[in-house]
């Protein structure tokens, strides 16, 4: 059988570890592995090449994806999806494995319904915003990149008696901000999923300043679009010189952590061990085990943050 792998949407560290495992496990199980370069765009353009051990030598420590990624507007046009199908048939590809988020999975689900090309989805995104799933490839590395940045910023914040407002990525999901704020001892955490009370925070901060607090670290999720507003709030309401730091795309990069590399390999093994008997599934990680789910089950479920983490972070939101 011939299997092909592609990466779609935003890149994340750990994708290369998954790609390496895909090639090595394919040969171990007697399959022929293929790469599709440049995601769905590459699938449309026929950028398909047989993969060898040489292709994946020395890539496990690298961030990003060696087969590159894309976001494809052309994919919404059936004419281009038909072209992608013809490219796959030309190479006699029997199965697609896609690393990405729910948008990527929806794209292949439509493709399957039209052309009956089986697929398996592996969650890969630093946003960690897939319902019925608690871990996406790239999350642990992103959290550690944020940790390093916060540690460095704390040094200068404490030296100058400043407030630093640090914006994390995640689109409309506050997972990175929430986890980072709790794990790194921030004084503020603002995320789209929860209300916040600046008046309560102001009372607390002014009291703490009298007791000797000399700097603040505030973690704000990008989805709120209030980073500069909070910077100004610290200056006007708290009386602290303030700086805003938008971490941006450094959160997608960096050498994948040990956990990332192990989890990536496990996701791939589960997908490849099950696609013949249960194709067209998304491999999810939920309550410390891997579960194969239908895309419809995921799409029709609401994503939610961990209640225990939210409880820990409520004081950082000004919520009693």
The residues annotated with a catalytic role in the active site are 127
How many angstroms separate the CA atoms of 28 and 25, rounded?
5
Taking the CB of residue 226, how many other CB atoms lie within 10 A of it? 17
Compute CA distances 218 → 14, 96, 157, 201, 243, whole Å.
28, 42, 11, 11, 10
The strand pair at 289-293 and 281-286 is best described as antiparallel
The strand pair at 281-286 and 48-50 is best described as unpaired
**78 closest CA partner among 89, 90, 86:** 86
Tell how many helices (H) and how many strands (E) occur in the chain. Answer: 12, 11
SS3 state of residue 104: helix
How many angstroms separate the CA atoms of 119 and 115, rounded?
11
Burial of 30 (0-12, 13-18, 19+ CB in 10 A): exposed
Q: Of all residues in the chain, what percent are helix, strand and coil, respectively (each to 5)?
A: 50, 20, 35
Compute CA distances 303 → 13, 23, 127, 231, 275, whole Å.
22, 32, 12, 29, 25
């Amino acid at each position: 059988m011939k299997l092909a792998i592609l990466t779609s949407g935003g890149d994340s560290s750990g994708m290369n570890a998954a790609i390496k495992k895909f090639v090595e496990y394919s040969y171990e199980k007697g399959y022929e592995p293929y790469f599709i370069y440049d995601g769905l765009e590459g699938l449309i353009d026929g950028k398909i090449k047989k993969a060898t051990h040489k292709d994946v030598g020395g890539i496990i420590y690298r961030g990003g994806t060696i087969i590159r990624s894309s976001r494809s507007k052309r994919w919404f046009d059936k004419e281009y999806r038909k072209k992608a199908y013809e490219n796959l048939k030309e190479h006699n590809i029997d199965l697609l494995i896609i690393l990405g988020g729910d948008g990527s999975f929806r794209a292949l689900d439509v493709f399957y319904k039209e052309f009956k090309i089986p697929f398996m989805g592996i969650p890969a995104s630093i946003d960690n915003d897939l319902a019925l799933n608690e871990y996406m490839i790239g999350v642990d590395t992103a959290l550690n990149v944020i940790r390093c940045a916060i540690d460095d910023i704390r040094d200068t914040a404490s030296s100058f008696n400043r407030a630093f407002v640090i914006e994390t990525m995640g689109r409309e999901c506050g997972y990175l901000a929430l986890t980072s704020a709790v794990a790194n001892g921030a004084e503020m955490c603002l995320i789209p999923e929860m209300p916040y009370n600046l008046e309560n925070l102001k009372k607390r901060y002014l009291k703490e300043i009298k007791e000797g607090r000399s700097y603040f670290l505030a973690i704000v999720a990008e989805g709120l679009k209030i980073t500069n507003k909070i910077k100004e709030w610290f200056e006007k309401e708290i009386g602290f010189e303030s700086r805003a730091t938008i971490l941006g795309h450094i959160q997608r990069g960096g050498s994948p952590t040990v956990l990332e590399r192990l989890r990536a390999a496990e996701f791939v093994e589960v997908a490849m061990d099950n696609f013949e008997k249960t194709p067209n599934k998304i491999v999810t990680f939920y309550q410390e085990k891997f579960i194969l789910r239908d895309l419809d089950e995921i799409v029709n479920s609401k994503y939610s943050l961990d209640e225990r983490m939210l409880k820990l972070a409520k004081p950082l939101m000004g919520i009693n």
